[in-house]
Amino acid sequence: MSQGRHIFNLKPLRYHYLVYLGLPLMTKSMSKQDYEHLTDKIRTRFLSWASCSLSYAGRLQLIQSVIMSIINFWCSAFQLPKSCFEAIDNMCSNFLWSGSPLDHSKVKVAWSDVCSPNKEGGLGIRNLWESSKVYALKVIWRLLSSVNSLWVAWVKRYLIRTHSFWDMKEVGGGGSLVWRKILKQRSFAATFIKYEIGNESSALFWFDNWHSLGRLIDIVGDGGPQIFGIPKYATFF
C-alpha cells in the first residue's frame, strides 16, 4: 500500500470492532467492551509513568496535558457513557495520589473536589462528564449557525430536510447513533441560544428562542401554528 493510502487502512485490534484513526467504528450504543480500548490506552500510559519519580505537580501536568488530550479526541467523535468517565476518573485519582492507576489506598481528597476550579480550592482539572456535553453543544452551534461546512449541508439535506432541528424525532427519524444523542441534548442547548431579530434573520417563528418569554412553541403547544394560522416552520424573512 502506498504511503498516501495508509490513512484508509482499517485495523482490527483484540477488541470486537474495527478501529479507524484510533477510534472504533460502530453504529450501536457504546458498551463497556467498546470503550475498553480507551481505558486500556490510558491505563498503559499511567503504568509507563509509574516507575518515574514524579512529584504531585508532575503527575497533575501529565493528567491535564496527555490524558485529557486523549479523552478530548474521543469526545470529539462520541458521547461516551458516564461509566467510562467514572473508570477514567478513578485511574486519574489513583495516579495523582499514589503514582499508579491501580493503587487507591493513598487517595486523600475526593475527585470531585480535585476537579474544582483553583479559586475554589481545587486543582482545575476539568470534569469529564460536563466537558463531554460541550462537544455536543459545539456540534449543535455549528449546525444552527450555518457554518460553511460540508457536514452541516449534508445534515440539513438528508436528515433535517423540511423539518426543524428542534422538532425532529429521536427515534425513527433516521441518522446514526451519534446524531440521535445530539438530538437528546436539544433541551440543554436551548438554554444557551438566543436569536436577535434583524433585517436578515432566518429564525423560526415558533421554534427559535427570539422572544423574551422563550420559545413560542413551548408556550402555546404543538397546536399553536394551526390556531394562529402561522405556518409551523415560518421564518421572519
The model carries a pTM of 0.69
Residue 11: pLDDT over 50: no
* 45 touches 66 (CB < 8 A): yes
| Mean pLDDT of all residues in 7-20 | 52
C-alpha cell at 109: 481528597
Q: What integer pLDDT is reported at residue 45 of this predicted model?
A: 94
Question: Which of 204, 210, 197 is CA-nearest to residue 167?
Answer: 204
Q: Which of 20-24, 144-148, 205-209 has the lowest mean pLDDT?
A: 20-24
Q: Are 136 and 79 spatial neighbours (Cβ–Cβ below 8 Å)?
A: yes
pLDDT at 7: 44
pLDDT grade for 13, boundaries at 50, 70 and 90:
very low
Q: Which of 40-49, 128-137, 150-159 has the highest mean pLDDT?
A: 40-49
Joined together, the cell numbers standing for residue 54 give 514524579
**pLDDT for the residue 3:** 47
d(CA 154, CA 107): 48
Residue 235 has what DSSP assignment? Answer: B
In the chain, domain spans = 3-126, 138-228
Residue 94 pLDDT > 90: yes
pLDDT of residue 200: 57
The SS3 assignment for 109 reads coil
Q: Does residue 84 contact residue 74 with C-beta atoms inside 8 Å? A: no
Query: Residue 175: is its pLDDT beyond 70?
Result: no
Q: Say what the pLDDT of residue 12 is.
A: 46
Could you tell me how far CA 74 lies from the centroid of its own chain? 9
List the 11-12 sheet strands across, edge first: 11-12, 18-20, 23-24
Is the pLDDT at 1 greater than 70? The verdict is: no
CB neighbour class for 157 (10 Å; exposed up to 12, middle 13-18, buried from 19): exposed
What pLDDT score does 141 carry? Answer: 86
- List pLDDT tens digits, range 70-79: 998 888 777 7
Mean pLDDT, the chain, integer: 81
Cα distances (angstroms) measured from residue 99 to each of 48, 56, 62, 93, 118? 10, 9, 11, 9, 22
pLDDT in tens, 18-73: 666 767 666 666 777 778 888 999 999 999 998 888 999 999 999 999 999 999 88
Summarize the confidence of residues 105-115 as an average pLDDT: 89
- Model pLDDT, residue 5: 45
- Measure the CA–CA gap between 149 and 162, rounded to whole angstroms: 19
Q: How far apart are CA 193 and CA 204, in angstroms?
A: 13
C-alpha to C-alpha distance for 184 and 29, rounded to whole angstroms: 14
Residue 2 has pLDDT above 50, yes or no: no
DSSP reduced 3-state for 204 = strand
Hunting for cell 485511574 — which residue is that?
A: 91
What's the pLDDT band for 174 if we cut at 50, 70, 90?
low
% pLDDT > 70, the chain: 84
Question: 132 with 85: CB under 8 angstroms?
Answer: yes
**At 157, which amino acid appears?**
R
Q: DSSP for 37-92?
A: HHHHHHHHHHHHHTTS---HHHHHHHIIIIIHHHHHHHHTT----HHHHHHHHHHH
